[in-house]
Structure 1
Amino acid sequence: MAGNGVASVGECMLELSGQAGPNWRMGFAGDTFNTLWALHALSGDRPATYVSAFGDDPFSHDQIGFFAQNGIGIGASPIIAGARPGLYAISLTGAERSFTYWRGDAAARQLASDPAALAKSLQNQSVVYFSGITLAILDDTARKTLLAAIAIARGAGSRIAFDPNYRPRLWRNREDAQAAILEALAVTDIALPTFPDEQMLFGDTTPEATAERLGRTVGEIVVKNGEEPALVVSNGATKRVPAVHVAAPVDTTGAGDSFNGGYLAARLAGHAPTEAAAHAHRVAAAVVQVRGALAPFEVLRNAFAG
């Protein structure tokens, strides 16, 4: 029987953001962590676990400490001697962002190195979330280990949520990405794709085409599409849920990840899928009005409440 916790699996990196001349602000972020951050903020007293692998360097210690200060544990995630976190920097043109990464030897690539520890971290979770980036940073063997652990958690009653989050530079080729994402969808209960990613990876012509393709294996689907309405499919019904327009966004980093966290929090609170998408849009709109990927908890909570 699944427990009360929420877990997210992937890579949290050092984030350099908020450039002002030669000065940068350092924080911690990454797609699956950004989602857990919002989900945790909006889920009351549910235990939150970030499942990854960490180094034994000062930055890794600071990262784990930051998690703990904000009520997020690391479960049985391994600490890898001599490893360190990946790093990325956000460059902004207006509110639109671009990224530069240093992550080739990041500790998170070893998150499935101890299958027993991985399985333990996924026990007693109400929701387990992961993404295409989680898959992309792993080699073939580690990817299979992860999907096997997720399948076991699902069998024990956890709801599995997955965002394909396709990033071409992380994959050897498009075919490998397609195959891995299809395997992940086979153990997914809630799919949270972004239409431009699906268009690039699978050649979908419309959000409806994405939903139809995913609907062959997944029962609940939300196709995000930037400022366009989200397409929500559940129990055979399809509905578009309008986004919240922000006239002057500050930084769009983490908007889609935070939408995912808001959606999952709303579903855990008992909201129907279309209502959950409306809550999620408000959360995403709040996030684009702050710099960096992580908005303060109070900002997220106020947005979620409407």
Structure 2
Amino acid sequence: MISVFGSANMDLVAYVSQAPKRGETVTGREFRTVPGGKGANQAIAAARAGTPVSFLGAVGDDGFGTEMRATLAEAGVDVERLRRVPGPSGIAHIVVDDAGGNSIIVVPGANGTVTGLTDEDRAVIAASQALLLQLELPMEAVVAAARAGRAADVPVILTPAPAQPLPDELLDAVTVLVPNEHEAAAITGVTDPDAAADALLKRVPEVLITLGSEGALYASRSGERLREPAVRVKAVDTTAAGDTFVGAFAVARAQGRAPAECLRFASAAAALSVQREGASTSMPTRAEIEDFLA
């Protein structure tokens, strides 16, 4: 079982030919509300990729909260530890252009109320094969979850997004850090991915840098270094590609696969997701991933 401690947002997605510049108004061609949030996305991606998942986080007592809980449950995610709190749920306003690029504004809502762990949360984490974390919850809660994972000898996989300074007390508990190339550069001050990986390995045992159309770079303190090229497909919407990649990678890793196999499995899942619109709605099943690899 994989546990995910993270955000749940309702994505408010506008599709346009070209994203507006500051002060500009453009006409969109479509609007959708899609359950998302980096935590919920990774939970759904992992569940669809073939493993039991427990989600720890919070939604509001509004309609968005009800819909997000139902979406997670329908994807096979255990939502027993998903708190329901007074007030609005988190939302993400997303603009997607015809090239598949996106820009996102996140308003935390209920996610901002998650400032720590309960004893039940710690028990779920301790029973996990891996713990997935991101940075859309308050930092003190993320640190507490990472420490709980480390104390229970559970591998902690952190996506450092949205990019922000990472305290040593957090990184000391992280097993695998999974930034994209921009986040890796922001953390290290180094733009070259290999050099950034070297810098990050001074702080965490394993690094996996996602490089968009250039694939992914994996490096570990043991000296292993791998590059996985991206699968060439026509991208329709890249909104959840990173979360799909991380969720699938965590599943493969929890199954004991070698790093190279984990990268191929995750890359295939991400390639499938970008060919579909939406976040949680774009994530492939295990059967789809295996068929794609075959």
TM superposition score category, shorter chain reference: 0.7 to 0.9
Whether the aligned pair in 2 keeps the contact of 1:128 and 1:159 (CA below 8 Å) is yes
Instruction: Provide, for residues 87-106 of structure 1, a one-character-per-residue CA deviation record: whole Å limited to 9, x for no partner.
Output: 223222223333353615x0
Whether the aligned pair in 1 keeps the contact of 2:102 and 2:238 (CA below 8 Å) is no
Partner of 1:172 in structure 2? none
1:86 is the counterpart of 2:72: no
Whether the aligned pair in 2 keeps the contact of 1:130 and 1:161 (CA below 8 Å) is yes
1:240 is the counterpart of 2:227: yes
Partner of 1:58 in structure 2? 63
Structure 2, unaligned runs of 5 or more: 17-27
Q: CA deviation at 1:38?
A: 1.3
- TM-score using structure 1 length: 0.82
Partner of 2:202 in structure 1? 216
SS of equivalent to 2:39 = helix
Give me the whole-angstrom Cα distance separating, in 2, the residues matched to 1:215 and 1:100.
Answer: 29
Counterpart of 1:13, as a letter, is: N
- Going from structure 1 to structure 2, the CA distance change for 1:110 and 1:241 (only over 3 Å counts) comes to same
Partner of 2:146 in structure 1? 150
Q: CA deviation at 1:215?
A: 1.1
Q: CA deviation at 1:187?
A: 0.6
Q: CA deviation at 1:299?
A: 5.0
Q: CA RMSD in A?
A: 2.3
1:273 is the counterpart of 2:259: yes
Counterpart of 1:65, as a letter, is: A
Structure 1, unaligned runs of 5 or more: 168-176
How do residues 38-187 of structure 1 correspond to structure 2 at under 5 angstroms? Answer: 38-44=45-51, 46=52, 48-81=53-86, 83-101=87-105, 103=107, 106-113=109-116, 115-134=118-137, 138=138, 143-167=139-163, 177-180=164-167, 182-187=168-173
Give me the whole-angstrom Cα distance separating, in 2, the residues matched to 1:52 and 1:217.
Answer: 27
Partner of 2:250 in structure 1? 264
Which of 44, 47, 57 is the matching residue for 1:37? 44
Whether the aligned pair in 2 keeps the contact of 1:77 and 1:111 (CA below 8 Å) is no
Q: CA deviation at 1:12?
A: 1.2
SS of equivalent to 1:260 = helix
Q: CA deviation at 1:121?
A: 4.3
Give me the whole-angstrom Cα distance separating, in 2, the residues matched to 1:92 and 1:300.
Answer: 27
Give me the whole-angstrom Cα distance separating, in 2, the residues matched to 1:242 and 1:100.
Answer: 26
- TM-score using structure 2 length: 0.85
